[in-house]
Structure 1
């Protein structure tokens, strides 16, 4: 951005007007001159080249937004002349296009593209190329957070009849138990159990190492994750500061992990004895060669196992949803669930991850009705007592009250007190 450039502009009504425009441009700082001369496409690509401290996955998403959505629609505009009206028009046109599945662009996609553009223009403000970020005034459709629903019998029947499934769905406790029983002999049984019960993210489970698991104390530490950018795997710190956490393990989960470690060690011994390569990588979940698993493999493997088990479909991340639901149904409070899942805010935990299971909802409904019925009983008894005390013929009390004893006159001052 520090190179001296020749700026060409045309369309002025006279030579004098062109000179005035030239003099105004020369009076600006180099940053302001760049804002008046650079196109949006040039700035966006320059901004991308400076993003060296972000996660590879974030860089991949930024690049997709810039090259696929932003540059084709606003790339030819001059950065310093960019207005909110132009951006609103561009996003309106983007909203009526189709995604790779042939469906209209979702509110989530529009929000992501807007987030990328806003970050890029904020950087332009900081660099002094523009004085204001017009992306702040772009109006977009509200993004609705998906709410997890439970695979009830009715929803399963509808899915079997139509093939349509909810965006986010979790199994009932009985369905989850059936799945875990089906995969008991799978080499990744401990991984399915850990995600389903303790709610680890896919990348957190794939990046878990034995050094971070304390089976004696019954806890594990989430300190890294393995994520993908395209097909490439990148290992780094957890998703956020809140994601770096300690997860408590119950005695059964500890037993499952102990058994998994024993089988892993036995498999390594057999492979080495057979002259095959087996790495002692230190990861909890590995392939036969001892190396850590590609996160995408876990997604594909779960899909196959669910289909073979004959259960309604869920995503790998839905197992995490289900872990929150189970903890909530078992009586865990929101703060405990938030810490377990590694959420930055309790609102996200409450809004998205805590679907009430049908059995729990029925118990709450029964308890509410029982409370109301119990509250109505004393009222009925009082009414019966009043009715019995009345004269059946005249409808007045059978016994007239006697004169009150003379307790002395109470003055106004005493009444006021």
Structure 2
């Protein structure tokens, strides 16, 4: 600890030093008091605050963002997620500037930023910007950099973009049956069977592409999901999203019948020199690597047109599976475990209020009112 220094005018000066919680640099600053006791008390308070995570030096947005990204994100999330975070934060840094003090970002100027972005970006894009920034500020609160999160309670909107082709994010039961039936009747190819597996399981596209034949237990109707294919970098199988634990799901026997048909077609194609030799991965292209998400989505687009269903991307199978399981009145913990999510994420992003769910809940409501003698 520093010793108070008596000045010529009789006052006492102290220079407490502590390590900055963001940059790791040693920080020192002088302050003068009437007595040595006051000087020591000030130093003790500064050191105590620093040990508790509070800094007397203003932390800038640019420095904290770098600190947050390196410490809390890069070790745990995929490269594509990091790329998305960097795009989101580029907008924030442009608006606030990297030199903006973190504690000077208020609810008012934060809301102004969201309102500004909403003039030129879609609701979904503004939502991801908000989610990213709010997450960073939550960590800043936990670290004692700021006292409260200005992002809490913020509202946002966005421009409605006219799509070249209509698109939906979830299928109702009617469209699900139409599309699945159309896919089953389509000519054999890797994308066809990839879509069938997603339709039954709601797997993420990376998990699907990372499936190997060793993970398929046809006799017990189980699939082990313990990795995903890094289709952004083509570096092979990697850990699951957010380093979640592997999960084993039990699926209907008919899916394994389809996989058996696929295996037979694949082997026949190999012998006929139509495709490259067999691979450990289920869904491979001519280069011996797993097919791309783009290939699956192009196949889906074509099949949607033929089935007369508003187009979807592969991720819609995931939302559809979550919504169908809710319609079947399955337990939320089971649904979350099956899809590899938390119950909170499932409820917030995946279960959608389709017409099927509305009708089911209206029926339940009327039955309750009738049982109570109200109607």
> TM over 0.5, yes or no?
yes
1:287 and 1:293 in contact (8 A); partners too? yes
Alignment-derived partner of residue 62 in structure 1? 85
SS in 1 for 2:92: helix
Alignment-derived partner of residue 136 in structure 2? 116
Shift of 1:195: 0.9
Alignment-derived partner of residue 247 in structure 2? 245
1:107 and 1:142 in contact (8 A); partners too? no
Alignment-derived partner of residue 191 in structure 1? 194
Relative distance call for 1:33 and 1:329 in structure 2 (3 A) is closer
Whole-angstrom distance in 1 between the partners of 2:360 and 2:247: 34
1:329 and 1:360 in contact (8 A); partners too? no
Shift of 1:221: 0.6
Alignment-derived partner of residue 220 in structure 2? 217
Relative distance call for 1:171 and 1:226 in structure 2 (3 A) is farther
Superposed counterparts of 1:122-271, under 5 Å:
125=143, 131-141=144-154, 168-170=170-172, 172=174, 173-183=176-186, 185-226=188-229, 231-233=232-234, 235-239=237-241, 244-271=246-273
1:328 and 1:334 in contact (8 A); partners too? yes
Alignment-derived partner of residue 153 in structure 1? none
Alignment-derived partner of residue 336 in structure 2? 338
Whole-angstrom distance in 1 between the partners of 2:154 and 2:300: 34
Shift of 1:372: 5.3
Shift of 1:198: 1.9
Whole-angstrom distance in 2 between the partners of 1:221 and 1:344: 18
- Verify: 1:89 aligned to 2:108, yes or no: yes
1:107 and 1:141 in contact (8 A); partners too? no
Whole-angstrom distance in 1 between the partners of 2:119 and 2:303: 27
Q: Deviations over 1:197-252 (max 9, x none)?
A: 22212121111111111112211011012356xx5456422235766311112221
SS in 2 for 1:221: strand
Q: Radius of gyration: which is bigger?
A: 1
Shift of 1:167: 5.4
Shift of 1:288: 2.4
SS in 2 for 1:247: strand
Q: Deviations over 1:316-365 (max 9, x none)?
A: 22212222344455564544433322232278359842656649947984
Alignment-derived partner of residue 322 in structure 1? 320
2:209 and 2:228 in contact (8 A); partners too? yes
2:60 and 2:100 in contact (8 A); partners too? yes
Relative distance call for 1:329 and 1:103 in structure 2 (3 A) is closer
SS in 2 for 1:57: helix
SS in 1 for 2:149: helix
Q: Given the two structures, how large is their TM-score scaled by the length of structure 1?
A: 0.62
SS in 1 for 2:249: strand
SS in 2 for 1:289: coil
Relative distance call for 1:222 and 1:216 in structure 2 (3 A) is same
Relative distance call for 1:233 and 1:116 in structure 2 (3 A) is farther
Unaligned stretches of 5+ residues in structure 2: 1-22, 34-38
CA RMSD, Structure 1 to Structure 2 (Å): 4.6
Superposed counterparts of 1:241-320, under 5 Å:
244-271=246-273, 278=276, 280-320=278-318
1:324 and 1:353 in contact (8 A); partners too? yes
Whole-angstrom distance in 1 between the partners of 2:327 and 2:60: 55
Q: Given the two structures, how large is their TM-score scaled by the length of structure 2?
A: 0.68
Shift of 1:286: 1.0
Alignment-derived partner of residue 36 in structure 2? none
Alignment-derived partner of residue 66 in structure 2? 45
Q: Deviations over 1:146-178 (max 9, x none)?
A: xxxxxxxxxxxxx9xx97665545452432344
Whole-angstrom distance in 1 between the partners of 2:85 and 2:270: 41
Q: Deviations over 1:280-314 (max 9, x none)?
A: 43111111232112334323432233234432122
